[in-house]
Amino acid sequence: MSCGKSIGGCTTAFSVSNYGGTTGVLTAAHCADDAFTNNCTAYYADGYPTCWLAQVYGGSGDVQWRWNSSNPAAASFYDGSSLRPVYGTYSYATQQVGWYTCHYGINTGYSCGTIDSKTYQPDWGGACPGGCNADWIIVSGTSLSCGSGDSGGPWFVAGTGYGVHKGHSGSRCVYMPIDRITGMWVYVLTQ
Amino acid sequence: MTAASRPRAVIEALCQRCIPAVFRLVAAMAMAATLAACGDQAPKEPLLDSPLAIHHGEWSGDDGAIEGRLELRGDCLYLSSSGGMRLLLVFGRDGLEWDTKASAVRIDGVAFRLSQPVRFRGGGGVNPPALNGIVWFKPPAAECDVSRVWFVGR
């Protein structure tokens, strides 16, 4: 399986592995209409049915990972024009306001902007179970676009993973920094 | 004080107490009548009589998407997703209408009718905890299955 493809009504971000060697794909937790049911047929990623394994869905996290038993995930993602290899990630602490960053989503495709804030607090209804913390990253840019179905998609620069797309506030886009996947005991597969 | 003036004094003493009370009673009746008249003229909030679950916050900004059909069961409006799940729909208030005659929910004037295929922006979750902390304009009816919800975006 490759990432950056459609999964249900959303997009996949990066390939991950747990410490037992099982590989899978990331997407947003709020995309899961079958979480906890072990329904392995509802959500297709890159044409393969996937099963829910775990998620982080709370004040600072909105991510899940899923797998397909017969198709290991590859250390690359689709960026709108080609499969892009992943060489590493930048944590929340490393990413800085003013940095340029890009994303891909199945609706709006590829676009880029600059980080406006690392302390954005999503406040729309149902944004985070119990309410969101002020530690989300929000991006703006004249050519930046995000829309319905982009959730779960990758944020990146070159071959470095930055985060997983969550949503929007006006014309700005919001993502969860990639290092919060450690709450699921997985890491991003790299080449 | 003469014997003749004594009854007058008694009456005056009584009236010092009763007249303000009478005035208060009349004023209260007038106010009640005014409020009742205002209540008849005040616009009713049709959303409160709708089967929609509505929160006070902004519409969902999550960029997920879901497809399915609207399904009305009792006082609860669900989306039966193409993935085979039934999710209770939760709406924002601004720009929302419920059209009883057409059995349709309108968002910014766009109608989504029962049993027809629809696609909604937003995000979903399993409850609890998905509904934790939600401030309601109109909460789901007690009979609704709130185990799976979808916060509708626009």
Does the beta-carbon distance from B83 to A33 stay under 8 Å? yes
Phi and psi at residue A182, to the nearest 5°: -65, -20
pLDDT at B8: 52
How many contacts does A have with B, using Cβ atoms within 8 A? 140
* A177 φ/ψ angles, rounded to the nearest 5 degrees: -60, 145
Instruction: Report the share of chain A in percent with pLDDT over 70.
Output: 91
The side-by-side arrangement of strands in the sheet containing A23-27 is A10-11, A6-7, A43-45, A48-57, A62-67, A23-27, A15-18, A186-188
List the single residue in A with minimal CA-CA distance to B82: A42
Q: Does A148 touch chain B (CB under 8 A)?
A: yes
- Take residue B64 and report the two structure tokens written for it: 């997920």
Q: How confident is the model over A5-24, as a mean pLDDT?
A: 89
Residue A39 has pLDDT above 70, yes or no: no
A75 SS3 class: coil
A1 confidence band (pLDDT: 50, 70, 90): confident
Neighboring chain B residues of A168 at a CB cutoff of 8 Å: 61, 63
Q: What is the pLDDT of residues A61-98, one digit of tens each?
A: 999 999 888 888 889 999 999 999 999 999 999 999 99
Q: Does A112 touch chain B (CB under 8 A)?
A: no
Which residue, A46, A60, A105, A79, is CA-closest to A160? A79
Percent of chain A predicted with pLDDT > 90: 79
What pLDDT does residue B126 have? Answer: 86
Give B-chain residues touching A171 at CB under 8 angstroms: none
Of the partner residues A8, A105, A131, the one whose CB lies closest to the CB of residue B133? A131
Cross-chain residue pair B61–A127, CB shorter than 8 Å: yes
* Residue B10 confidence (pLDDT) above 80: no
Radius of gyration of chain A (CA): 15
Strand pairing class (B64-73; A172-177): unpaired
Output the pLDDT for position A36.
Answer: 45
> Predicted ipTM?
0.94
Work out the pLDDT band at A147, boundaries 50, 70, 90: very high
Question: Closest approach of chain B CAs to the CA of A94, in angstroms?
Answer: 25
Q: Which of A187-191, B81-85, B149-153 has the weakest average pLDDT? A: B81-85
Which of A55, A124, A139 best tests the B interface by mutation, with the highest count of B CBs <10 A?
A124
Percentage of chain B lying above the pLDDT 90 cut: 57
Considering only CB atoms, B126 lies closest to which of A35, A62, A148, namely A35
Cβ neighbors of A35 (< 8 A, separation 6 or more) are A29, A52, A55, A64, B125, B126
Compare CB distances from A28 to B64, B66, B67 and report the shortest one's residue.
Answer: B64
Cβ-nearest to A33 among B59, B66, B119: B66
pLDDT of residue A3: 76
Q: Which residue, among B62, B82, B94, would best test binding to A if mutated, counting the most A CBs under 10 Å from its CB?
A: B62
